[in-house]
Amino acid sequence: MLTYVIRRLLYSVVVLVLASMLVFVFVTKSGDPLAALAISPNVSEITVQNIRERKHIDAPIHERYYYWVKDAVTNKFGTTLLDNRPILPDLWRVMKNTLQLVLVAELLAILLGVSIGVYSALRQYSAFDYSMTTFSFLGLATPVFWLALMLQVGVVQILERTGNQLFPIASLSAVDPGSGLEFWIDRAHHLVLPVLVLMVVNLAVYTRYMRAAMLEVINSDYVRTARAKGVAERRVTMKHAFRNALIPLVTLVALNFGALLGGAVVTETVFSLDGMGLYFVNALLTNDPYPVMAWLMITAVMIIIFNLIADIAYGILDPRVRYD
Amino acid sequence: MTERQPRSDQRAQDQDQNEVSLDSANVARPAGAHGYAGAVAVANEPEGPLGRPELATSDTELAVAYEAGVAPKARSQWAYARIRFFRHKLAVLSLIVLVLIGLVALFAERVAPYGFEYIPFTDAEALLENPNLIQESLNRPPQLEGKHLFGTDNLGRDYLSRVIFGLRTSLWVAFFVALLSTAIGTAVGAIAGYYGGVVDNLLMRFTDLILTLPGLAVLLTASAFLGQGDPLKVGLILAALFWTALARLVRGTFLSLREKEYVEAAKASGASDARIIVRHMLPNSLGPIIVNMTLVIAGAILVEAALSFLGFGIQPPNPALGSLISQGQAEGLRTWWLVTFPGLTIVVIALAINFVGDGLRDALDPTQRRVRA
């Protein structure tokens, strides 16, 4: 087990290094972030020249990569290209915001998805099962950004007809959110729609997954044995079937959560939430390699850690799995 | 999908895989002998928990009819797949919808009432005839009676026409991605699974590497790098990420097929590696490959739409459903139809493809269960 974890981590380091090289080349070659600055009348040539020198822009690409690695290790990912702003504090801020969104949405999606999936499986081919299957098919076929926009459209239409704005459709807080409880109520109000979008998308996946896992377990030999030896039906479903059906879901949730910590890029963009996803898109739009690289490293590490957690959890929950 | 005639080097395979296809040689047999063919077809059905009872019964019926000599001729594996597919009503309906949408996209110039960029008041003659044209055409909501079923935007452009042209690009990209990624995934998986050892290890580590990367981030970075706007570039980038799942799948199938007797027989009779892979093993893993292709089409449509919406995919002047939605957003959410209809189109396509994929899975890949994550 320990050798397995160590080997996986070593392999991940190789992946990280390769990925960082690739992305660094991609971002630095994709455009000149200083081009707009250079032709701006408000910026003197000396300023541009200073930036060029500070960030070694004119050095060959492999030297620039070396400077980046040095900066990342010794100086906490360094600063942004244009305004020399420290990157890490910004990243922690947006990550905190993303966590609020993702945690609530995931928790709701898991709770609802598990209950709906289990109930669907227990009442297979019932009206409930069919409507939930339809719902998850719809959920899987709906683009996330469109769902978010349609909710906004709904809010705007209601606002036009009744003069009532049910929910805010952009940003994380009101202009003056107050403090303490007031702040959190305002934050919750702002998060209703984004959470709803993120939840629905994941709910569709979890429901289908849980239903399939539960069906498989219900028809397995050990559940039949439990029934045959006279265990009460309730105990069979809850103890013998349900607990085993949860195992594959643990993996799925861990993988999904790791990926979501990189920010729900689309949801955050549509609702202009100051989270990881929007941060990444904005960094990419300004062609600034440094925040993009920092974002990528942190996100990739998260994904790797949660992948590892998923694998280890699977081994603990299902002793039949062997690591080799 | 022609029925294969059993040839000397394929006989072993046919006997191993399906007794049914032997019948395609139209060998006259006594009625009693046919019972076996039917029995094989039943055994092919998903057994156990998730197999749908109605499917099993009807195939049993088939077998019974067969045995009684009522069913006139033997069927190949593909014929059985076809029968199973057409029994899946929702899949057939979805296929019809898809074909219709595909035809609309194919003949966009003839079907669309206006051009993609047609702005009514730039038409001098029409403007002379009707001086109120500008007022009339701007930001009109959809009308059932009028010409603009999907409404018009703030330049008076007909949104139905724009959606039809966008449809064409989006579908083209999706099919391109499906074909290319299927080709790459099959090749990588087949080579890894057939040769095993170091080759397998290298190829699969490479596949893992791509799977570990945050997908959307890589897509965004790659399209920022390659330059966006061009459907071909977007298709290439998507295909470069979409092949991994299939590669793993094909590798798994090939690893198990490698041990089959018919492969050994082919090897013993001196067939080359390429021949064994293409002629013997590939036909026997086609089912999952085709099913996976439908998943890729649906996925590619959704991801391309998201990319185009974020401004990293297909951009104007190239039409695409995603960028149409983003235009609708930019014009403010009061003109609800600009957001609603392109999005609904995407949902309908993705839904239909998923249903067709479901039907194909039942038809081609009976070992897979119908309900999957």
Which DSSP category does B138 fall into? T
Q: Is B52 part of a structural domain of the chain? A: yes
Res B52 pLDDT > 60: no
Query: How many CB pairs (< 8 A) connect A and B?
Result: 142
Query: Around Cβ A110, how many Cβ atoms within 10 Å?
Result: 20
Instruction: Provide, as residue numbers in chain A, all residues whose Cβ is less than 8 Å from the Cβ of B329.
Output: 149, 270
The CATH number for B305's domain is 1.10.3720.10
Query: What residues contact A273, with CB distance under 8 A and at least 6 apart?
Result: A97, A98, A101, A171, A172, A194, A267
The two structure tokens encoding residue A229 = 């030896």
- Give the H/E segment covering residue A194: helix A181-218
pLDDT on residue B188:
94
Q: Is B109 part of a structural domain of the chain? A: yes
For residues B46 and A219, give the distance between their C-alpha atoms in angstroms, rounded to a whole number: 14
Answer for the pair B311, A278: CB distance below 8 angstroms, yes or no: no
Long-range contacts of B149-157 (CB under 8 A, 24+ apart): B150/B337, B150/B341, B151/B335, B151/B337, B151/B338, B151/B341, B153/B327, B153/B328, B153/B331, B153/B335, B153/B338, B154/B331, B154/B335, B155/B119, B156/B119, B156/B120, B156/B121, B157/B114, B157/B117, B157/B118, B157/B119, B157/B120
Res B67 pLDDT > 70: no
Q: Pinpoint the alpha helices (H) of chain B.
A: 11-17, 19-22, 31-44, 53-67, 77-87, 89-106, 108-111, 124-129, 133-137, 159-195, 197-212, 215-226, 231-242, 244-257, 261-268, 273-275, 286-310, 321-330, 336-364
For residues B173 and B302, give the distance between their C-alpha atoms in angstroms, rounded to a whole number: 11
Cis peptide, bond prior to residue B30, ω within 30 of zero: no
For residues B215 and B87, give the distance between their C-alpha atoms in angstroms, rounded to a whole number: 37
Query: What residues contact B329, with CB distance under 8 A and at least 6 apart?
Result: A149, A270, B339
Point out the residue among B214, B302, B328 whose CB comes nearest to the CB of A303.
Answer: B214
Res B58 pLDDT > 80: no
Residues B46 and B103 in one domain: no
Give the confidence band of B9 by pLDDT, cuts at 50, 70, 90. very low
- Residue B206 burial (C-beta neighbours within 10 Å; 0-12, 13-18, 19+): middle
Q: Is B209 part of a structural domain of the chain? A: yes
Residues B129 and B195 in one domain: yes
Res B270 pLDDT > 60: yes
Give the confidence band of A315 by pLDDT, cuts at 50, 70, 90. confident
| Contact between chains at B306 and A144 (C-beta distance less than 8 A) | yes
Residues B120 and B53 in one domain: no
**A67-83 burial, b if ≥16 CB within 10 A, otherwise e?**
ebeebbeeeebbbbbbe
Answer for the pair B185, B285: CB distance below 8 angstroms, yes or no: no
Of chain A, the percentage scoring pLDDT greater than 90 comes to 29
* Low-confidence winner among A41-45, A105-109, A292-296 (lowest mean pLDDT): A41-45
Of chain A, the percentage scoring pLDDT greater than 70 comes to 98
Res B327 pLDDT > 80: yes
Instruction: Name the percent of chain A in helix, strand, coil, to the closest 5.
Output: 75, 0, 25
Residues B65 and B163 in one domain: no
pLDDT on residue B30:
37
| Contact between chains at A146 and B371 (C-beta distance less than 8 A) | no
Point out the residue among B220, B221, B339 whose CB comes nearest to the CB of A149.
Answer: B339
Instruction: Provide, as residue numbers in chain B, all residues whose Cβ is less than 8 Å from the Cβ of A296.
Output: 214, 217
Residues B31 and B169 in one domain: no
Kindly report the average pLDDT of chain A as a whole number: 86
Which one, of B346, B161, B47, lies nearest residue A147 by Cα?
B346
For residues B296 and B82, give the distance between their C-alpha atoms in angstroms, rounded to a whole number: 22
Count CA atoms closer than 13 A to B178's CA, side-chain side: 21
Residues B26 and B147 in one domain: no
Residue A166 sits at φ, ψ, to 5 deg, of -65, -50
- Average the pLDDT over A153-172 and give the result: 86
User: Cα–Cα–Cα angle for B243, B248, B249, nearest 5°?
Assistant: 100
What is the SS3 assignment for B10? coil
Of chain B, the percentage scoring pLDDT greater than 90 comes to 22
| Contact between chains at A280 and B217 (C-beta distance less than 8 A) | yes
Which one-letter amino acid corresponds to residue A109?
A: A
Q: Is B1 part of a structural domain of the chain? A: no
pLDDT on residue B66:
60
* Low-confidence winner among B132-146, B184-198, B327-341 (lowest mean pLDDT): B132-146
pLDDT on residue A9:
84
pLDDT in tens, A249-260: 888 888 888 878
B54 and A CB contact within 8 Å = no
What is the SS3 assignment for B158? strand
Domain boundary among B74, B99, B134: B74
Q: Could you write out the DSSP letters of every residue in B241-274?
A: HHTHHHHHHHHHHHHHHTTSHHHHHHHHTT--HH
* Low-confidence winner among A33-47, B42-56, B153-167 (lowest mean pLDDT): B42-56
Q: Is B327 part of a structural domain of the chain? A: yes
Which one, of B168, B177, B166, B163, lies nearest residue B300 by Cα?
B177
pLDDT on residue B15:
38
What is the SS3 assignment for B152? strand
- Average the pLDDT over A60-76 and give the result: 85
Residues B279 and B350 in one domain: yes
* Low-confidence winner among A156-160, A169-173, B259-263, B346-350 (lowest mean pLDDT): A169-173
Minimum distance, in Å, between the CA of residue B287 and any CA atom of chain A: 21
Answer for the pair B118, B304: CB distance below 8 angstroms, yes or no: no
pLDDT on residue A145:
92
Which one, of B191, B167, B302, lies nearest residue B254 by Cα?
B191
Question: Which residues sit opposite A79 in a β-bridge?
Answer: A86
Res B369 pLDDT > 60: no
- Average the pLDDT over B58-69 and give the result: 59
Residues B226 and B319 in one domain: yes
Q: Three-class SS string for A223-281?
A: HHHHHHCCCCHHHHHHHHHHHHHHHHHHHHHHHHHHHHCCCCHHHHHHCCCCCHHHHHH
pLDDT in tens, A88-101: 999 999 999 999 99
Instruction: Provide, as residue numbers in chain B, all residues whose Cβ is less than 8 Å from the Cβ of A205.
Output: 373
What is the distance between the terminal CA atoms of chain B, rounded to a whole angstrom? 29
pLDDT on residue A319:
77
For residues B168 and B174, give the distance between their C-alpha atoms in angstroms, rounded to a whole number: 10
Residue A79 sits at φ, ψ, to 5 deg, of -125, 170
Which one-letter amino acid corresponds to residue A260?
A: L
pLDDT on residue A127:
93
Q: Is B4 part of a structural domain of the chain? A: no
Kindly report the average pLDDT of chain B as a whole number: 76
Res A129 pLDDT > 50: yes
B 82-101 near A (Cβ less than 8 A):
none
Sign of CA dihedral A216, A221, A222, A225: positive
Q: Which residue range forms the structural domain that includes residue B56?
A: 22-74
pLDDT on residue A193:
94
Distances B92 to B57, B80, B173, B291 between C-alpha atoms, Å: 20, 15, 24, 15
Query: What residues contact B139, with CB distance under 8 A and at least 6 apart?
Result: B151, B152, B153, B154, B156, B331, B335
Q: In terms of pLDDT, which residue wins out, B330 or B208?
A: B330
* Low-confidence winner among A25-39, B45-59, B78-92, B340-354 (lowest mean pLDDT): B45-59
Residues B293 and B336 in one domain: yes
Q: Provide the CA A296 distance to its chain's centre, in angstroms.
A: 13
Residues B58 and B173 in one domain: no
Q: Is B238 part of a structural domain of the chain? A: yes
For residues A20 and A296, give the distance between their C-alpha atoms in angstroms, rounded to a whole number: 8
pLDDT in tens, A198-246: 999 899 999 999 999 999 888 889 899 999 999 998 888 888 899 888 8
Residues B133 and B31 in one domain: no
- Average the pLDDT over A161-188 and give the result: 83
pLDDT on residue B25:
35
Tell me which chain A residue has its CA closest to the CA of residue B371: A212
Q: What is the ipTM of this complex?
A: 0.85
Res A75 pLDDT > 90: no
pLDDT in tens, B120-172: 666 767 667 776 766 666 667 776 566 777 877 777 788 888 899 999 999 99
Point out the residue among B212, B346, B351 whose CB comes nearest to the CB of A303.
Answer: B212
User: Cα–Cα–Cα angle for B283, B289, B290, nearest 5°?
Assistant: 95
pLDDT in tens, B273-321: 999 998 889 888 888 898 889 989 999 999 999 988 888 888 877 888 9
B106 and A CB contact within 8 Å = no
pLDDT on residue B33:
35
The two structure tokens encoding residue A99 = 């966590």
Point out the residue among B48, B298, B336 whose CB comes nearest to the CB of A153.
Answer: B336
Answer for the pair B83, B75: CB distance below 8 angstroms, yes or no: yes
For residues A309 and A301, give the distance between their C-alpha atoms in angstroms, rounded to a whole number: 12
Instruction: Provide, as residue numbers in chain B, all residues whose Cβ is less than 8 Å from the Cβ of A266.
Output: 216, 306, 309-310
pLDDT on residue B137:
67
Of chain B, the percentage scoring pLDDT greater than 70 comes to 70
What is the SS3 assignment for A86? strand
Answer for the pair B302, B170: CB distance below 8 angstroms, yes or no: no
Residues B336 and B208 in one domain: yes
| Contact between chains at A29 and B225 (C-beta distance less than 8 A) | yes
- Average the pLDDT over A20-38 and give the result: 76
Domains in chain B: how many in total? Answer: 2
The two structure tokens encoding residue B141 = 């909501």
Which one, of A215, A194, A207, A196, lies nearest residue A140 by Cα?
A207
Helix axes of B197-212 and A289-317: crossing angle, nearest 10 degrees:
120
Q: Is B371 part of a structural domain of the chain? A: no
| Contact between chains at B336 and A157 (C-beta distance less than 8 A) | yes
pLDDT on residue B65:
59
Domain boundary among B9, B41, B74: B74
